[in-house]
Structure 1
């Protein structure tokens, strides 16, 4: 009845998208237009958007949201995303679609107070908020990274099932990972009964011995067409700009090399569990210190000074001695010299230099100015207007943008094609996000990525795994997240990196422990590749001759 009413009202039967003219800085591709029209015209606003990574599912969701709002079909919208992506979604929906969402955090929340809300799934389904979210009766719900709903026994799946909004969009490139039941669960959320009861689904489509390989595939594919849209890169005429990755090995001075070893030993001794752990209260600060050493001695020095002021069991005298040495080596850092040579060799071409730390950013900016280059600067503490002016100055004439991790999230920086990772985050997703600022749909020029690292550092081990073992830099932006999703480990990748570093008694053990981690990820990449092939074989796709 609902579907018939919607068709009668004309909301799903439109032949054109009226929102396209109002989008800002969004390059529209035929597969995205086709997907949005199908969502509204054929699927009545309830769909799994399962495009391969890198094809712009977020843009498709944004167009559908704007379209329904403009047509008056919805008034309230809830967007559920991973906590780390809330701000990125908010910025992108405002800057590209002029949709004024608020991020709901904290015990009070924005449920029912504001018509357009973004939240993490974990926050929304929390028992403190669950009733208020349900009571808001959202017209449209979007779930990003919807593969987190593949298990029908989880609180997340049950929460979305209870919400039962009029319109529902689930975004995931991998609707199935380990078991065809996962596909059944997602399909049932979108349109219950599409593939029957689970007993019917098991009888008709599961082969019994292999949970990941269905039978009666043509029939299942036909049924899935009523709940799913999937576009592969091979189904489009899009060309993705090639990516060239270089490692610029920094030759540390003997003093820098010795200090890196001494501070690393101090960090490891302080956090090792079997030592009684005077550093356990400072665990995360010590982890940051280890990262800062791979970035700049200016950043590391300030952290060591703070620890020396509030040691809480740490060796104060040792800390002060290390801090004094850091002050000495930070006067002429070898990494800055390597960076300046690299920028000088770019022939005036624009580049973005990324760093994790403000102290490092200040060091880079000062060095560039002393060499005669005035850079644009971007960081999270700047106001909205300052950020816009800085990016406009970079676009209009300045050669270099020096940016922290906040750099241009949701913004189009494709007028630049060179990314310099002055320091290397241990989290591969952060590296992907940096590269993704310039290497995305619409980039017309080959992208150049320059990674600065010194041998013997933790960043060198991370680079060995990501570059040489799993060839991360060959992947499309977004695929690394899928690989990490198949890597079934507790805790984050950067926690695992730090743990293996501090628990190793010397270089030989360190090499072995990181080789083990690399092997785990090699297996995860193979599993991801198999999943991708299986899903391309199973799921309905847009025929090439039928593209919009």
Structure 2
């Protein structure tokens, strides 16, 4: 072949290689909706005639034949083999013989014939786009088309005059496509073949999981990482019911894995109602990510919603996100117990380590959060009763957890810290998964580690890699920057020294026995280190509290005894430092829009040591002196710490980069915002704090995300969880928390998957203060250990390295020189051996990891095979293109890019409006069928997306009648006629107790569509659904002339029996799996119950011998023993009935068709096996001559052997020496015949793009 322009000479003769045969190739770069429609099914009278600007034809010898834009059509005589002649038609002028009445005339005729634009185009022998342009007035028919229109009009008029119905079913009323047809269809094979095939396409898309096992990853705006695919598709989806603890490190994407699982389960019909229960600070993050990444709309439920009505009832409560602390409240939990609340199929607890329970000395202490999880998991030990509120510790009320009469079938627990160094809380998490098997801690300990993977998976950051084996987390560097306090009598050092003296003098003498006093002193220490402004605000609050106390004492509103009781109450209320135990994920504003830390500080600042008015007046004088000094420093405009921050932010090295600045205190954050704006950054500073609701936080994040928006985000630890900022790489810890684990939470906002740059962290500490010197040593040691171990684990386990004496206690002691020395010695002594010891302990509990890298080869192979199974974008594009005319909609724009659906008749868009109006107005005209890569507003149509689902449901409703009436097709490859049956099967699980009041509908375990082929001899065999793409409408074939049509009812009954047997077979396979697992499960349940019974008997014996034992404790043990006996009986019944409850559903016929072999009078080119075989041999030799490895996938057996579907849409898979692949569709023609692309071939081309090649062999 010669290089050159696209001319007839380009298709040269290769006598030696091809034995006087001709071969041409077309490589399809892109398929815009106009051009791709012209290469659709060859058996619908559509020759492959046209190229568009976006299409590129390439010669097999790598010649590139760039077609010019056709305006607007090629001459009808053009053929694929005549590429050289194309240019002569590109600039052909276009006459307009018709008048302005053409659009109305075409629409009236098409609708009178009850044809879609596609069907009408076939009748005329033109493309659907031509018809669309006629009807919209963009172009007019040529003479030949006008003549055909006249003929159609005359024929239609005769048909109507004779009252001859189009479908021959005796119906004299031609119904509009949108009209409801309530009478049941009769099997007469007069259904519209176009509608039947469209109905089948809709079913395929709604059952996409059956054709692509990772369908959720195809219809989501994510590209799952290896560890995410392993968790969802190899662990979670395979477990029935799901009772799983997903414990990957922070930043692994547990929200993404949950969304993938939920999307897959919804598409498979295995769940309907989902309840997500995260901490308060993560509610907005969950709602946003499920909506934006998976198009799953969840409703956020607040306490006010629960008090106003039942937010969990009805379809509006099908998918809900509610905070953990809201749901454990009486109002919200009470709504779950109401009769109108349908049970949830799946409950997800995020940050599951907050579900805390511990057992010690035979006594179990459970938090209300854990009791809530117990109730929803179905392992509450209480006895069901009426809903009531019970009085808890400190006078609080809690719900009667046993009043919940249902439990979730599926339970998913998410946490990055499942084991906090103590076995008991970790065991209680496992107990939620299966309270019968893991009810006893000893039974849990004996559970084989290798079997725990059924319920548990954990991967560390170091194990997480991409598909190339590269770590998904970028490098991270932490540096500690010191700063010196200003000197002088009015300087910062003087303020620090005076404040320290005040704390030691006023609070130090009460340190040994006053918890609240210790906490108040810690507040001052932290705020002194944070900023002068934060210290000033605390001093002023303290002054106000002391003044109010003096007034109360002087007026007699309170006496010394009452003061003592009030102070004791503070001690009891705050038994631990808030900042030591606080988790930012729990943070939500109170009624005064304060952070929880602010409320805590306000309370503990009321702790006093002095008890006389004189002592209190002396304290006020000291406080006023400190206040005045702080105010003077602020008025001076210079603060050493802020100046150090300013140097960092203005460094030329980081010019115009975004910065995240963290502070522990909202007062300091507000101060930083004011100072930064005063430096000329007004309008470029965003802030997040715990006094903001999640919508306000979202708005702040978006301001920060916008390249032209905020450059700085100043945040308190309210942004420490649930806010993803990987578009920023620079962070400053303006304050250093005394709980270093919170440093990892902060760093995780920017050091996470998706970060494209190395991350820099800057810690600011004062080298002139005792606390600063200790923290500097600590941070430097932690960073040194992290580098030595090459792991961020040190920040996760730092709290467990201070188990004997907490870091908070060390920091509190730094007020004295001796305390500082002890703290620095302890920090200096931290070493990597301690971290390794903790990691070894974790490995014992978690089991071995590291499976991700070893699985990469297998995962890549699976993804390569899945690529050929994708339904998007081709199947969706084709479905929307064919559906729009049926619904009275025009496609405005480019189906292959961005388009809108515009009604061409009244109220045609109504079925889609509710779904469309859920999107912002700017997105509604931006429909697309390809996955968007950016953040531009648009609606990505796909199964599971509301607009597409509404469109699909409407189309299925309209076409179902034709599908059930049946239609007749031609199979060009068939030799004998046959029936095609499309049926839907399901396997169900019945309720455990049919008479119980909490009985729910049968649960779907599996559902699938089955396509069957039934010959004239009655034999039934599976038929791949994609084979239906080969079928072509049979024209002018009266059903009465087809013998199979007269036997269809009898043959369908035989197929119905076949489907019943198939459903029974699938159900029996599931029953067998359950029966196989019963012996092991029975043994494990028996072991656990025996151990629990032995523990109860031991406690009862001890209590009986103890004369001082509380009788209520003895009664409680007796009740526990009775409950165990009942539980044993119930467990046996459940085991025995588990397999019996699995039943086959009733098969449902969805469509029926007759496929006939081609006849001589049909306008269809019959399949010539000899010509095709010769073409395949020639194309294979051509590729092998170029040292390619060639695999024949033209037959189902060869395709399956290559890991493909039965009909992948191409004939040869060629791999060149450089690793590049060609997916080659081979067309053989004995003469210069037209070349037609079949539907599945076009779809393969759409999916594969540049890798799809069309080889045409002539001769």
**TM-score range normalised by the length of the shorter chain:** 0.7 to 0.9
Matched, 1:530 2:840: yes
Partners of 2:726 and 2:755 within 8 A in 1: yes
1:366-385 paired onto structure 2 within 5 Å = 366-374=674-682, 375-380=684-689, 384=695
Residue 162 of structure 2 corresponds to which residue in structure 1?
Answer: none
Matched, 1:68 2:265: yes
Residue 348 of structure 2 corresponds to which residue in structure 1?
Answer: 142
Partners of 2:349 and 2:414 within 8 A in 1: yes
Residue 872 of structure 2 corresponds to which residue in structure 1?
Answer: none
Matched, 1:43 2:279: no
SS at the partner of 1:47?
Answer: strand
1:506-521 paired onto structure 2 within 5 Å = 506-513=816-823, 515-516=825-826
Deviation at 1:334, TM superposition (A): 1.2
Deviation at 1:104, TM superposition (A): 5.6
Matches of 1:430 and 1:438 in 2, distance apart? Answer: 14
Q: Please list every run of 5 or more consecutive structure 1 residues that lacks an aligned counterpart in the other structure.
A: 1-9, 206-219
Matches of 1:351 and 1:51 in 2, distance apart? Answer: 28
Matches of 2:289 and 2:407 in 1, distance apart? Answer: 26
Residue 454 of structure 2 corresponds to which residue in structure 1?
Answer: 226
Residue 118 of structure 1 corresponds to which residue in structure 2?
Answer: 322
Partners of 1:378 and 1:407 within 8 A in 2: no
Matched, 1:321 2:554: no
Matched, 1:365 2:365: no
Partners of 1:249 and 1:454 within 8 A in 2: yes
Partners of 2:282 and 2:722 within 8 A in 1: no
Matches of 2:333 and 2:735 in 1, distance apart? Answer: 41
1:450-465 paired onto structure 2 within 5 Å = 450-455=762-767, 456-465=769-778
Partners of 2:732 and 2:761 within 8 A in 1: yes
1:268-307 paired onto structure 2 within 5 Å = 268-272=504-508, 274=510, 286-307=521-542
Deviation at 1:532, TM superposition (A): 3.8
Residue 402 of structure 1 corresponds to which residue in structure 2?
Answer: 713
Deviation at 1:415, TM superposition (A): 1.8
Residue 475 of structure 2 corresponds to which residue in structure 1?
Answer: 242
TM-score by length of 2: 0.36
Partners of 2:771 and 2:814 within 8 A in 1: no
Deviation at 1:424, TM superposition (A): 1.9
Deviation at 1:245, TM superposition (A): 1.0
Residue 256 of structure 1 corresponds to which residue in structure 2?
Answer: 492
SS at the partner of 1:310?
Answer: helix
Cα 1:370–1:198 change in 2 (3 A) is closer
Matches of 1:179 and 1:305 in 2, distance apart? Answer: 42
Partners of 1:350 and 1:398 within 8 A in 2: no
Cα 1:287–1:77 change in 2 (3 A) is farther
Residue 412 of structure 2 corresponds to which residue in structure 1?
Answer: 169
Residue 274 of structure 2 corresponds to which residue in structure 1?
Answer: 77
Residue 660 of structure 2 corresponds to which residue in structure 1?
Answer: 352
Count of matched residue positions in the alignment of Structure 1 and Structure 2? 517
Q: Deviations over 1:256-315 (max 9, x none)?
A: 0121122133234433463799x9777656543322222211221122122222214551
Deviation at 1:420, TM superposition (A): 1.1
Partners of 2:215 and 2:264 within 8 A in 1: yes
Partners of 2:278 and 2:323 within 8 A in 1: yes
Matches of 1:347 and 1:181 in 2, distance apart? Answer: 48
SS at the partner of 2:477?
Answer: strand
TM-score by length of 1: 0.77
Matches of 1:297 and 1:316 in 2, distance apart? Answer: 19
SS at the partner of 1:396?
Answer: coil
Matches of 1:321 and 1:534 in 2, distance apart? Answer: 57
Cα 1:486–1:89 change in 2 (3 A) is farther
Cα 1:364–1:173 change in 2 (3 A) is closer
Matches of 1:51 and 1:319 in 2, distance apart? Answer: 49
Deviation at 1:124, TM superposition (A): 5.6
Q: Deviations over 1:338-362 (max 9, x none)?
A: 1111122134132222223344334
SS at the partner of 2:755?
Answer: coil
Deviation at 1:322, TM superposition (A): 0.4
Partners of 1:504 and 1:513 within 8 A in 2: yes
Partners of 1:271 and 1:502 within 8 A in 2: no
Cα 1:372–1:541 change in 2 (3 A) is same
Deviation at 1:189, TM superposition (A): 4.3
Cα 1:15–1:177 change in 2 (3 A) is farther
Deviation at 1:99, TM superposition (A): 4.2
Cα 1:154–1:410 change in 2 (3 A) is same
Matches of 1:407 and 1:186 in 2, distance apart? Answer: 27
Query: Aligned-residue CA RMSD in angstroms?
Result: 4.4
Q: Please list every run of 5 or more consecutive structure 2 residues that lacks an aligned counterpart in the other structure.
A: 1-206, 381-405, 550-609, 611-615, 861-1259
SS at the partner of 2:527?
Answer: helix
Matches of 1:66 and 1:521 in 2, distance apart? Answer: 45
Cα 1:527–1:144 change in 2 (3 A) is farther
Partners of 1:267 and 1:502 within 8 A in 2: no
SS at the partner of 1:294?
Answer: helix
